[in-house]
Chains A and B, each alone.
Chain A
Amino acid sequence: MALAVWALGFLILPVIDANNTGIDSLTAICRALGIAAPAKQAPSTQTAVPASMTAWDATTLDAVALGDPVAGAALAQDSCVACHDPNGLTTDPATIPSTTGQSARALYKQLSDMKRGERPNDVMKPILDELSQKQLADLAAYYSRLPRRNHDIHAIASARGGAIVLATKGDVSRALPACEACHGANAGGPLEVPMLTGQYPDYIAAQLRAYASGARKNDIYGRMRRIAGKLTDQEIKDVAAYYDAPR
């Protein structure tokens, strides 16, 4: 009885099914036994053009975790302070983001992507070209420890209802997750997502438009291009304003 069960599970079912699934019998039995079958060559026809080469492998995770905030502070004083104030203020809120209160992973990814040109930025690229990956991790460590920018409590006292829904509930009819599903404080979303609270609304709106148009495309698997592309311009404005509202 037991023998029949094992034979069925490990020999008969896999071998008969092998024909149907386009693998040979040996591979089928290997898989039934849970032994890794010989890897097939990935059948792809195009060369991959990744949105970003940043990958959270062990090396990168360790590098970011080991970033030195003291070295990062010195570097920031040298190279960044002209645009990025330690209090999160910038000289042009439409194009220069507040960099404080972000996770080191979020900062590191954007710095790396801009350095490689995956996120085009003519101002940042020459500066970053001078820096090593270790220095990027130091900068990320430094800025991640600075408190988030105080947002303007008078700016938008009343966010529009639609924006609140998009930000906190999402819209299943358009397959739009809530902004907070990734950007919230307890979201558990992708590792590199930035916090939006405390970010300049003009900057948020500009980035959403850049994602929608494809001008910015360093989001892995188009997570943001897809979402931004579904938003109306009014929704972009409203959602951006929502994140300036005090909470």
Chain B
Amino acid sequence: MTINNRLILAHLWTAFAAFGVAILLGLWQMWVRSPLAAPLSTPDNYYLSVTAHGSAMAYVLTTFFIMGFGYFVAESALKQALPAPRLAWAGFVLGIVGTVLVVATVLSGQASVMFTFYPPLSASPLFYIGLVLVVVGSWIWCALMIVAMTRWKKANPGTPVPLAMYATVANAILWLWTTVGVAAELLFVVIPAAFGWTQTVDVGLTRTLFSWTLHAIVYFWLIPAYIAFYTMAPQAAGGRLFSDLMARGSFILFLLCGLPVGLHHLFMDPEHSSGFKTVQMMLTVLVAVPTLLTVFTVTASMEIGGRLRGGKGLLGWIGALPWERPMVLATGLSFFMLWFGGFGGLINMSYGMNAMVHNTSWVSAHFHMIFGGSVVIMYFAIAYHIWPNLTGRLAPSLVLQRAQLWLWAIGMMVMSLPWHWLGLSGQVRRVAQFDYADPSISWWAPWMIMSVVGGGMLVISAGMFIWNLVSFHFERTGAAKPGPVEYARALHPGVPVPAALNGFVLWNAFVLVLMAAAYTYPIAQFFILKPPQAVVHRVDRTP
């Protein structure tokens, strides 16, 4: 049983509260984009909503969930108390204050700049300060994760760090590296401009700094799902982790390859050279490797479970898996959506091919499949997996949990699949109105209505999810007590783990070299070229 349950629950409930509100906005946005008449559909409201939806999902849900889950892993996998829980609370409070600032500025219409806030559009400075506070709060979490692992290693010499914790620390380090780009953008360019200290900004520089963060942040969001794939799903399936060493290798590869690739978000930008675009495209191919390794390792781990449960033949083990367990079901659904999200991503990263889809609904489809689909469904499964432990109560209903997961996956497919061909036929993202009377796009109408239906399914699923968690808290504690969360054991335990795969010093050095090679010149370029700057366009006050 973990000790700091209140701390962990505070983080996770904050994450899911933001999620619950943001998903309602998402449904309304689908409604506005569709040919059906939606209430309150003005551009003011629409872009306010898109900013709120994106910020809540991408910054609040993720950051708070990852922090809360990290604290849980640190206690349950290391079986030791958290270092400095008061500091952890301080990080939480910083994050809450930041979130309140972001919510207040967005809802009052002072920050309709999207969660990507590309200058020279500029919001109220409080919006950016709120984001900074959320990030600073998460830095405290990073430090605590690193300290927890270091202490454990001192106390347990010669024993490898449990995989779940090793991966959590990999994520903490990845996040520290990731935030450097956006922190530099905010502190040196965006916030001074928002306060009015500077009247102009170097737009190319801000885009480049943001791209530094823009891709690796996705891996920050994704790694908790991968921790569940490696350490929770095989256990729930009655299997074994196929290879502990390969799992460690995958998380290290995420750390190494997730960072020096952000320029692939700027393939269609005029301010970067074909040279660096090519280099970062090649590096982007490498980042598919840890995911493809994971697909294999986790499948092999599940196969062990299926065979131990009597599955025969080449694929008979699939049917023998305990699909009634939410963690197993979620993993299966997650992998299914990962195929579509991964496919979209492969097109996006393919240099010239990016031109077909850049900034169209295809891209929205890609990250809804990957993040909203594969990753968030694992957030659900993780919550279901650890809630008994956090509340001391058994799950009230696994049927409702399974129904919720199914509805989420189906809803996500129904909503996001059409965006692929709509995007290919020129439907751009972040647009509220389409001229459905135009014969060249009138065929979009039924697909857009389908997306609204999918969005509705997601809202129902989200409601069920919240209900499923709330009902834990009201469940009477019976005689049966949930046991501690067990992490999957390796198929071949006792294999000595090389020191390099038990720490991060070497890998940090590699990241430094890779980032220097990938980003030094693309950033320095703006100080050499000195491109003319653009005047700040404030959205938070009368022109």
A residues apposed to B, CB below 8 Å: 5-6, 8-10, 13-14, 17, 31-36, 56, 58, 61-62, 65, 103, 105-106, 168-170, 172-173, 177-178, 180-181, 184-193, 195
The list of the 6 closest CB pairs from A to B, nearest first, reads A9-B278, A188-B539, A32-B275, A9-B275, A10-B275, A173-B435
User: Out of A9, A56, A186, which one reaches B541, CB within 8 Å?
Assistant: A186
Whose C-beta in chain B lies nearest to the C-beta of A31? Answer: B273
Question: How distant is the Cα of A177 from the Cα of B539 in the complex, in angstroms?
Answer: 16
Question: How distant is the Cα of A56 from the Cα of B538 in the complex, in angstroms?
Answer: 15
Q: By the criterion CB–CB under 8 Å, are B274 and A189 in contact?
A: no
Between-chain CB contacts (< 8 Å), 13 pairs:
A9-B279, A13-B275, A14-B275, A17-B274, A36-B529, A172-B434, A180-B42, A181-B43, A184-B44, A188-B113, A188-B122, A189-B543, A191-B537
Q: By the criterion CB–CB under 8 Å, are B199 and A61 in contact?
A: yes
User: Out of B109, B529, B537, B543, which one reaches A103, CB within 8 Å?
Assistant: B543
Question: How distant is the Cα of A32 from the Cα of B522 in the complex, in angstroms?
Answer: 11
Q: By the criterion CB–CB under 8 Å, are A173 and B539 in contact?
A: no
Question: How distant is the Cα of A33 from the Cα of B535 in the complex, in angstroms?
Answer: 27
Q: By the criterion CB–CB under 8 Å, are B44 and A106 in contact?
A: no
Q: Is B521 an interface residue (CB 8 A)?
A: yes
Question: How distant is the Cα of A185 from the Cα of B538 in the complex, in angstroms?
Answer: 10
Whose C-beta in chain A lies nearest to the C-beta of B199? Answer: A61
Q: Is B41 an interface residue (CB 8 A)?
A: yes
Size of chain B's interface in residues, with CB distance under 8 A? 39
Flag B521-535 by CB within 8 Å of A: 1 or 0 each: 110010011000001
Q: Is B156 an interface residue (CB 8 A)?
A: no
Contacts of B540 in A (CB 8 A): 186
Whose C-beta in chain A lies nearest to the C-beta of B42? Answer: A168
Q: By the criterion CB–CB under 8 Å, are A187 and B275 in contact?
A: no
How far is the CB of B36 from the nearest CB of chain A, in Å?
A: 15
Whose C-beta in chain B lies nearest to the C-beta of A192? Answer: B543
Residues of chain B in range 198-245 having any CB-CB distance to chain A below 8 Å: 199-200
Q: By the criterion CB–CB under 8 Å, are A34 and B272 in contact?
A: yes
Known pairs A169-B41, A184-B44 / 19 extra A-B pairs, C-beta < 8 Å? A9-B275, A9-B276, A14-B274, A32-B274, A34-B272, A58-B199, A58-B200, A61-B199, A61-B200, A65-B199, A168-B44, A177-B43, A178-B43, A186-B109, A186-B112, A186-B540, A189-B543, A191-B537, A195-B542
Question: How distant is the Cα of A32 from the Cα of B272 in the complex, in angstroms?
Answer: 8
Contacts of A8 in B (CB 8 A): 278
User: Out of B274, B279, B438, B529, which one reaches A6, CB within 8 Å?
Assistant: B279
Most buried by A among B109, B272, B274, B529: B274
Question: How distant is the Cα of A35 from the Cα of B542 in the complex, in angstroms?
Answer: 39
Q: Is B437 an interface residue (CB 8 A)?
A: yes
Q: By the criterion CB–CB under 8 Å, are B542 and A103 in contact?
A: yes
Provided the pairs A181-B43, A193-B543 are in contact, do residues A188 and B276 lie with their beta carbons within 8 angstroms?
no
Provided the pairs A34-B525, A186-B110 are in contact, do residues A5 and B44 lie with their beta carbons within 8 angstroms?
no
Question: How distant is the Cα of A61 from the Cα of B533 in the complex, in angstroms?
Answer: 13
Q: Is B66 an interface residue (CB 8 A)?
A: no
Contacts of A185 in B (CB 8 A): 541-542
Provided the pairs A5-B278, A32-B274, A61-B199 are in contact, do residues A169 and B538 lie with their beta carbons within 8 angstroms?
no
Q: By the criterion CB–CB under 8 Å, are B274 and A31 in contact?
A: yes
Contacts of B272 in A (CB 8 A): 34
User: Out of A14, A34, A168, A177, which one reaches B521, CB within 8 Å?
Assistant: A34
Whose C-beta in chain B lies nearest to the C-beta of A193? Answer: B543
Q: By the criterion CB–CB under 8 Å, are A186 and B44 in contact?
A: yes
How far is the CB of A66 from the nearest CB of chain B, in Å?
A: 12
Residues of chain B in range 236-278 having any CB-CB distance to chain A below 8 Å: 272-278
Contacts of B122 in A (CB 8 A): 188
Contacts of B538 in A (CB 8 A): 188
Q: Is B282 an interface residue (CB 8 A)?
A: yes
Contacts of A34 in B (CB 8 A): 272-273, 275-276, 521-522, 525, 529
Whose C-beta in chain B lies nearest to the C-beta of A14? Answer: B274
User: Out of A10, A35, A106, which one reaches B543, CB within 8 Å?
Assistant: A106
Provided the pairs A14-B275, A193-B543 are in contact, do residues A178 and B42 lie with their beta carbons within 8 angstroms?
yes
Q: By the criterion CB–CB under 8 Å, are B43 and A169 in contact?
A: yes
Question: How distant is the Cα of A153 from the Cα of B186 in the complex, in angstroms?
Answer: 43
Q: Is B433 an interface residue (CB 8 A)?
A: yes
Contacts of A184 in B (CB 8 A): 44
How far is the CB of B354 from the nearest CB of chain A, in Å?
A: 15
Question: How distant is the Cα of A168 from the Cα of B45 in the complex, in angstroms?
Answer: 10
Whose C-beta in chain A lies nearest to the C-beta of B528? Answer: A35
Q: Is B121 an interface residue (CB 8 A)?
A: yes
Question: How distant is the Cα of A62 from the Cα of B528 in the complex, in angstroms?
Answer: 25
Q: By the criterion CB–CB under 8 Å, are A170 and B275 in contact?
A: no
Whose C-beta in chain B lies nearest to the C-beta of A56? Answer: B535
Most buried by B among A34, A62, A190: A34
Question: How distant is the Cα of A103 from the Cα of B199 in the complex, in angstroms?
Answer: 15
Question: How distant is the Cα of A184 from the Cα of B43 in the complex, in angstroms?
Answer: 11
Residues of chain B in range 93-134 having any CB-CB distance to chain A below 8 Å: 109-110, 112-113, 121-122
